[in-house]
Amino acid sequence: MMTTEQFYINGRWVAPLSSDVMDIVSPGNGAVCGRVALGSVADVDLAVAAAKRAFESWSQTAPAERRAVLERIVEIYARRSNDIADAMMLEMGAPKTLARGAQAGVGLGHLKDFVRAMDQIHWERPLFQGDTENHIVMEAKGVAALITPWNWPMNQVTLKVGAALAAGCTMVLKPSELSPLSAVVFAEILDEAGVPAGVFNLVQGTGPVVGERLAGHPDVAVISLTGSTRAGIAVTKTGADTIKRVGLELGGKGANIIFADTDVEAAATQTAQHMFRNSGQSCNAPSRMLVERSVYDRAVAAAAAVADQVKVGRPEAEDTQMGPVVSAAQHQRIQSLIRKGISEGAVIVAGGPDNPEGLNDGFYVKPTVFSGANNEMTIAREEIFGPVLTIIPFDDEAEAVAIANDSVYGLAAYIWTGDSERARRVSRKLRSGMVRLNGSDLPYGAPFGGFGQSGIGREGGVWGIEEYLEVKAISGWIAA
């Protein structure tokens, strides 16, 4: 059992003003594994007030001073990486190898990159008009409300907190109530690193209470949310009343285009492995595999073989490759969408509805592959957020691009081709914030974000820090 019944406000762990609590349910066995306190409007107000007080001094610190704080956070995070991983394994069912590898590791990677990115920001620079010197200053925007999801907890927490700290903003973090434990460990890390009181505050709670109050609070200047499109719309509407800057990283329905002039089996295999990683609970997952018709059957067979070989099991087992999905509600939704795919005429070539054998006491889903699909089917249009891969044929390049772009989302896209000119040409045509060519990955510091209903703004590196900065122009500057 792990409980998190205190909030971190103004540099101290404090008791909530509300008595509301929620059980934390382990996805691995469906049993209660802890309890989280749910914040109230009054708790949020205390945290925002602390952040507002701290902003006056923190926003005026030299970049080198903020950089030194980030460096201390990096050092302590590395030391406590296994504590973070263990929390994620319990709260969201991440397999042990994934939790200790990518899930914890990605947070450390982002924090290290923000240290580097700080040296690339032009905090102050001249702007000349003839002989007259003017001055451009980049300043912290204000108090930031940071609302993070459950699927990659430390990925999103570090992308937001690291950037806001680097920029000179103060903040209130509201993690998902489904993954509150890792955020507590992260708060302990910042406390040990000596982040000044009030700069970082943590309030647990639900979106309709804590999230809504943060979005509408008159003293919050920036909202950064990672979550569903529905949540993004609600936060944007609420924040509009006080003219807040809103950054959104929302859903995706990634198109993965495989042309016949590539190693088809390798492309389909890597795509399926990526799709089933983290139980398919990734907004940038390549959930739509578009395959040139002449090699379609080969790609289907390769993807099905991956699904059949994935070891689904308990999060704590060393050999588990794919664990459960995060909650009973998510499990039910995924099973419903798998059945919807069957009813609409798609063909299951691997997996299917119902739990894997022997795993009936948790929220487990079979790695599932659909063939015979088209882009009008529900499984091709809705973000399933589970281990479900939909494979669609195309006849030529123009049709592949048309299918890929026929989505309300535009977060991540993938292209496999042996023709470098085609790779460049198609990547420019895709309406997507990120495009990965031939199995490549984006480095730390690359801008993460999308087009359309996948969101607004970018996270990571220089682009992520700039989301928390305001531009000030000063005329008639008097040089020192």
Question: Do 113 and 57 share a domain, yes or no?
Answer: yes
Q: Is residue 443 part of a domain?
A: no
Of 21, 52, 9, 48, nearest in space to 205 by CA: 21
Return d(Cα 52, Cα 57) in angstroms, integer: 10
Identify the sign of the CA torsion 55, 61, 65, 71. positive
Strand ranges across the sheet with 469-474: 124-129, 132-140, 469-474
Q: Is residue 448 part of a domain?
A: no
Contacts of 391 (CB under 8 A, 6+ apart): 289, 291, 296, 299, 300, 303, 369, 370, 371, 373
Q: What's the structural domain count of the chain?
A: 2
Percentage of the chain modeled with pLDDT above 70 = 100
Range of the domain at 391: 255-437
Question: Do 209 and 236 share a domain, yes or no?
Answer: yes
Terminal Cα distance for the chain, rounded: 59
DSSP class of 293: G
Residues identified as active-site: 249, 283
The reported pTM is 0.96
What digits encode the pLDDT tens for the residues 67-76? 999 999 999 9
CATH code of the domain in which 468 resides: 3.40.605.10
> Considering only 125-129, 220-224, 238-242, 343-347, which range has the smallest mean pLDDT?
125-129
Question: Do 286 and 338 share a domain, yes or no?
Answer: yes
What digits encode the pLDDT tens for the residues 5-23? 999 999 999 999 989 999 9
Q: What is the DSSP string of 232-279?
A: HHHHHHHHHTTT-EEEEE-----EEEE-TTS-HHHHHHHHHHHHHGGG
pLDDT of res. 2: 76
Question: Do 287 and 243 share a domain, yes or no?
Answer: no
Q: Is residue 28 part of a domain?
A: yes
132 pLDDT higher than 90 = no
What digits encode the pLDDT tens for the residues 84-127? 999 999 999 999 999 999 999 999 999 999 999 999 999 999 99
378 pLDDT higher than 80 = yes
| CB-based contact 137:112 (threshold 8 Å) | no
Per-residue pLDDT band at 130 (split at 50, 70, 90): confident
Per-residue pLDDT band at 366 (split at 50, 70, 90): very high
Mean pLDDT of 326-348: 98
Of 268, 266, 257, 261, nearest in space to 399 by CA: 257
Per-residue pLDDT band at 3 (split at 50, 70, 90): confident
Question: Do 325 and 345 share a domain, yes or no?
Answer: yes
Return d(Cα 259, Cα 311) in angstroms, integer: 29
Question: Do 160 and 260 share a domain, yes or no?
Answer: no
Q: Is residue 300 part of a domain?
A: yes
Chain-wide mean pLDDT for the chain? 97
The tally of CA atoms less than 13 A away on the side-chain side of residue 90 is 19
